[in-house]
Amino acid sequence: MTMTATAEHPARDARAGTPPLQIEAVQFVRPASKFERVPCYYCQATESVPFLTAQDDLTGKPGTFTFITCAGCGLRYQNPRLGIEHVKPFYDQEYIAHRKKANWGPLTGFFNWVMDRHDRQKEKLVLRYVALHPESEVLDVGCAVGTFLQRVRTRYGARVAGVDFKDLRGCPSLEGVEFHCGLFYEQPLERERFDAITMWHFLEHDYDPVRTLQTAKDLLKPSGHLVIEVPRLDSLTFRLYGNRWPGLQAPQHTVLYDREMLLRMVRKAGLEVVDYLPYGAFPAFFYFFAGAAFKLLKGKGLNLSKAIYPYFVGQMLFAPILAFEKHLNFAMQTVVCRREN
């Protein structure tokens, strides 16, 4: 399985002067492509200029993936993209957010601390905008195995719901979570139900982000808040690593947001921006570490069980710099919104 832009566009391989009829014949006999071209998610324009090509640096699966800059609005997004059915294999057992259990040998405690810390940071962020108590309704879009929701449920007694396009029912961490499997905007969820909707590293995977944001707006109570964290394209780690930047995460990431485009996107969906943060709950150190590893590995894939030792050491060495994570635009961004009044 080689997924290249060339395979997607046989016509571009045709030599100059080849009669058009022959090009059409070549296209006709090729099997249906896994790729599809899409107009801009923000402005619907179809004209673009190349931005960069990326590989699946995390798992090392074959293929090159193309990101473009929209000529209409400047949005950077993957085009052509994998059809939604064909991207599913990339969310497999190796996909870290879907790991149900991990055994990392002597560093299991460290791994669990990192994962727990991630959920604690999410909780802290949400609490700045939303009071959590037994009457609260919280929805996490792209909830994966649901550890964040489980934390909110057990600590505050909140009613929690989650959506993920991968069927993760049966995970112990989803016990007590109202789990919906499928595309977010197709779920039969009640309007004006939620006090908080969270999207932790979801929107950059989305196949229709404006529709997603409009759906979230409809599901929020008039006083409710939507918290969105995504990788930040105009960040230090992107400048360091370029086409090996972990925030590209090809082919799963469909859209790359800089600050301006993230804010424009939420406003387009009719949301009002309450706050913008140049960091998130996700550890920026992961991007420093993984970017350096991706540079060295050149698309061979990162063996997480081998990487955990250097990750552990690096985290210790980087601690003084990471203390400034909230002030130095390393890798992440968070926007907090509410319905426009």
Report in angstroms how near the CB of residue 71 gets to Zn ion at its nearest. Answer: 7
The answer to the question of residue 45 lying near Zn ion (CB under 5 A) is yes
Please say which residue, 77 or 287, places its beta carbon nearer to Zn ion: 77
Which among 73-81, 237-245, 265-273, 330-338 is the span making contact with Zn ion, rule CB under 5 A? 73-81
Which among 48-56, 66-74, 155-163, 246-254 is the span making contact with Zn ion, rule CB under 5 A? 66-74
- Sorted by sequence, the CB contacts under 8 Å of residue 28 that are 6+ apart come out as none
Which among 29-37, 72-80, 142-150, 197-205 is the span making contact with Zn ion, rule CB under 5 A? 72-80
Please say which residue, 71 or 96, places its beta carbon nearer to Zn ion: 71
Map residue 5 onto helix, strand or coil.
Answer: helix
For 188, phi then psi, to 5°, come to -80, 70
The answer to the question of residue 322 lying near Zn ion (CB under 5 A) is no
Please say which residue, 73 or 210, places its beta carbon nearer to Zn ion: 73
The answer to the question of residue 257 lying near Zn ion (CB under 5 A) is no
Please say which residue, 27 or 44, places its beta carbon nearer to Zn ion: 44
The answer to the question of residue 42 lying near Zn ion (CB under 5 A) is yes
| From candidates 14, 52, 73, 304, binder to Zn ion by CB under 5 A | 73
The answer to the question of residue 75 lying near Zn ion (CB under 5 A) is yes
- Cβ atoms 267, 335 nearer than 8 A: no
Interface mask (CB under 5 A) for Zn ion, residues 11-40, using x and -?
-----------------------------x
The CA distance from 69 to 167, in Å, is: 33
Outline where DSSP puts E strands in the chain. Answer: 35-36, 48-55, 64-70, 76-78, 81-82, 137-141, 159-164, 178-181, 194-200, 220-231, 255-256, 271-277, 332-339
The CA distance from 268 to 249, in Å, is: 25
Report in angstroms how near the CB of residue 255 gets to Zn ion at its nearest. Answer: 11
| From candidates 3, 70, 197, 230, binder to Zn ion by CB under 5 A | 70
| From candidates 36, 59, 60, 72, binder to Zn ion by CB under 5 A | 72
Please say which residue, 70 or 335, places its beta carbon nearer to Zn ion: 70
Report in angstroms how near the CB of residue 40 gets to Zn ion at its nearest. Answer: 3
Q: Read off the tokens for 324.
A: 């400034």
Report in angstroms how near the CB of residue 261 gets to Zn ion at its nearest. Answer: 9
The answer to the question of residue 43 lying near Zn ion (CB under 5 A) is yes
34-60 b/e (C-beta count within 10 Å ≥ 16 → b): bbeebebbbeeeeebeebbebbbbbee
The answer to the question of residue 107 lying near Zn ion (CB under 5 A) is no
Report in angstroms how near the CB of residue 138 gets to Zn ion at its nearest. Answer: 32
The answer to the question of residue 47 lying near Zn ion (CB under 5 A) is no
Which among 69-77, 129-137, 280-288, 326-334 is the span making contact with Zn ion, rule CB under 5 A? 69-77
Cβ-based neighbour number of residue 257 at 10 Å: 26
Query: What is the total count of residues that contact Zn ion (CB under 5 A)?
Result: 8
Report in angstroms how near the CB of residue 53 gets to Zn ion at its nearest. Answer: 20
* Side-chain half-sphere exposure of 19, counting CA atoms within 13 A: 3
The answer to the question of residue 77 lying near Zn ion (CB under 5 A) is no
Q: Which long-range contacts (CB under 8 A, 24 or more apart) does 143-147 make?
A: 143/174, 143/177, 143/179, 144/97, 144/98, 144/168, 145/97, 145/98, 145/99, 145/100, 145/171, 145/173, 145/174, 146/171, 146/173, 146/174, 146/177, 146/179, 147/115, 147/119, 147/173
Could you please report the per-residue DSSP string of 257-276?
--HHHHHHHHHHTTEEEEEE
Residues forming the site for Zn ion (CB under 5 A): 40, 42-43, 45, 70, 72-73, 75
